[in-house]
Amino acid sequence: MSLFGRGRGGPARVTARKAAARTDSARAAGNSGASVLLDVREADEWQAGHAPGAVHLPLTALAAGARLPAAAQARPVVVICRSGRRSRRAVELLRARGVEAVDVIGGMQEWAGAGLPVVDAQGGNGTVA
C-alpha cells in the first residue's frame, strides 16, 4: 500500500505539517523506509533557508536527468519548492522514473507559515527566499 494516496486521478499533495510528520517523525522512530523531503529550489534559495533534514536537488538538474541524492534513492519522496509549482513538475518527472512522490501544498512558504523550522546553509535560522 502506498504512503501517498491519490485524489481526483492526479498525484497526491500533502500539507506542510503532514510532510513534516511523514519525514521527521518516521525517521525519528527509526523507520529506514521513511519518506525523504526533497527540496527542488535553486542553490541560492536552498542556502537561504530549507527544512532541516531535507536533501537538495534543483529542478533544473532533475529535469536534465540528474540522479536523486543517495539519501532519496529507493525511498518515497516528498517534494518541496518555494510555493508548490516546481514541486508539482518534479513529482511528474519522478513518477515517470518510477519514484513514489508527492508535493507539498504551498511549498516552503507554507512550511514556514506553519511554524515549522527553517535553517540556512550554516545551520542557523533561515529564511524562505
Residue numbers annotated as active site: 81
3-state secondary structure of 37: strand
Residue 67 burial class via C-beta count within 10 angstroms: exposed 0-12, middle 13-18, buried 19 and up? exposed
Number of other residues whose CB lies within 10 A of the CB of residue 22? 21
- Nearby residues of 70 by Cβ (< 8 Å), 6 or more positions away: none
Q: Up-side HSE of residue 81: CA atoms within 13 Å toward CB?
A: 18
